Amino acid sequence: MLFKQQALLRQKLFVLGSLAIGSLLYLVARVGSLDRLQPICPIDGRFRPHGQDEIPLRTLQFKRGLLHEFRKGNATKEQIQLHNLVQQLPKAIIIGVRKGGTRALLEMLNLHPAVVKASQEIHFFDNDENYAKGIEWYRKKMPFSYPHQITIEKSPAYFITEEVPERIYKMNSSIKLLIIVREPTTRAISDYTQVLEGKERKNKTYYKFEKLAIDPNTCEVNTKYKAVRTSIYTKHLERWLKYFPIEQFHIVDGDRLITEPLPELQLVEKFLNLPPRISQYNLYFNATRGFYCLRFNIVFNKCLAGSKGRIHPEVDSSVITKLRKFFHPFNQKFYQITGRTFNWP
């Protein structure tokens, strides 16, 4: 009798186990199906770049994981040829500005299934040693992509380095250039904060921001201080305009990208001639971090690194006032050149 009861119990457990495994397999298949439904890109959405053949955007996004494997180097030549993958020179570059939000912009643009990003800063055009290696070396630093996708890289040092505009022009005179800016004084303090954090990690001392930003001999703004000099946006932009027309630049509001990212990203989509695919679904506010995070699909989310959004040190209000007064005429000229006005004090 006891033996029959044990056999019956084992039979019931086997049935329940089979049902559980079956349910799990169904859920796995269902998640894959939902992922392919493309909440980011509707099935009927297609991207036609300048007369080339169409390619479904959902196909591009569905194979994003495959591209990730190739970027890690886990691909043979046969696999690359089979999937028609190439390493393309960038069709758009985020050239600056340092501490303006270049990383956030690049990661957010990567939400678009027609965009592939270079994960690391290449520093090809601003580094003489790298530049001497040639354009083919640069191209091989780019991620694998499909021919209809746009490759984008970002190196904020490009904006302030004198040789870079001419070098990029020689590569592609029609390239699209993205510049993301923040209120100049805030950006300078953020720049200082990053350097300060690096010094503290090495147990090194560093001057206070006020001592660096203000010349102690003249009590005027110290334009030799790199953090200040970088925030004079119009001076750097004028150098770029010797090679590229203003129509090839798009200015992104870095302050607004923090608080209202979607409108800024939609403007970039339009500038890059991309179909509108990034939606509010892809962006959700993380109250713990105080920033927007990214939702690629039903199973994959991503937040920016914890080093983003550092707390700034307190700065003497008179120094902030002096800096804002100093930047004001440069800001006005920047508005005039770019045709975009910001609510900077």
- Residues serving a catalytic function are 99
**What's the one-letter identity of residue 16?**
L
Tell me the C-alpha distance between 150 and 91, whole Å. 6
Asked whether residue 234 is marked as a ligand-binding residue, the answer is no
Tell me the C-alpha distance between 221 and 51, whole Å. 52
- Three-state secondary structure along 16-44? HHHHHHHHHHHHHHHHHHHHHCCCCCCCC
Asked whether residue 338 is marked as a ligand-binding residue, the answer is no
Q: Comparing C-alpha atoms, which of 49, 92, 55, 85 is closest to residue 70?
A: 85
Asked whether residue 322 is marked as a ligand-binding residue, the answer is no
Strands of the 115-117 sheet, one edge to the other? 115-117, 150-154, 92-96, 176-181, 249-253
Asked whether residue 99 is marked as a ligand-binding residue, the answer is yes
* Distance between first and last Cα of the chain: 88
Tell me the C-alpha distance between 236 and 335, whole Å. 14
Q: How many CA atoms lie within 13 A of 144 on its CB side?
A: 23
Tell me the C-alpha distance between 55 and 84, whole Å. 12
Within 8 A by CB and 6+ apart from 229, the residues are 160, 223, 235
Asked whether residue 309 is marked as a ligand-binding residue, the answer is yes
Strands 144-145 and 55-56: unpaired
Asked whether residue 101 is marked as a ligand-binding residue, the answer is yes
Give the pair of three-digit tokens for residue 319.
Answer: 């120094």
Give the pair of three-digit tokens for residue 219.
Answer: 């009590």
Asked whether residue 214 is marked as a ligand-binding residue, the answer is no
Asked whether residue 235 is marked as a ligand-binding residue, the answer is no
Asked whether residue 102 is marked as a ligand-binding residue, the answer is yes
Asked whether residue 201 is marked as a ligand-binding residue, the answer is no
Which string of b and e fits 205-217 if b means at least 16 CB within 10 Å?
eeeebbebbbeee
Asked whether residue 50 is marked as a ligand-binding residue, the answer is no
Concatenate the DSSP letters of all residues of 70-81 into one string.
Answer: HHTT---HHHHH
Report CA Rg, the chain: 25
- Known binding-site positions: 99-103, 182, 190, 292, 308-312
- Known binding-site positions for 3'-phosphoadenylyl sulfate: 99-103, 182, 190, 292, 308-312
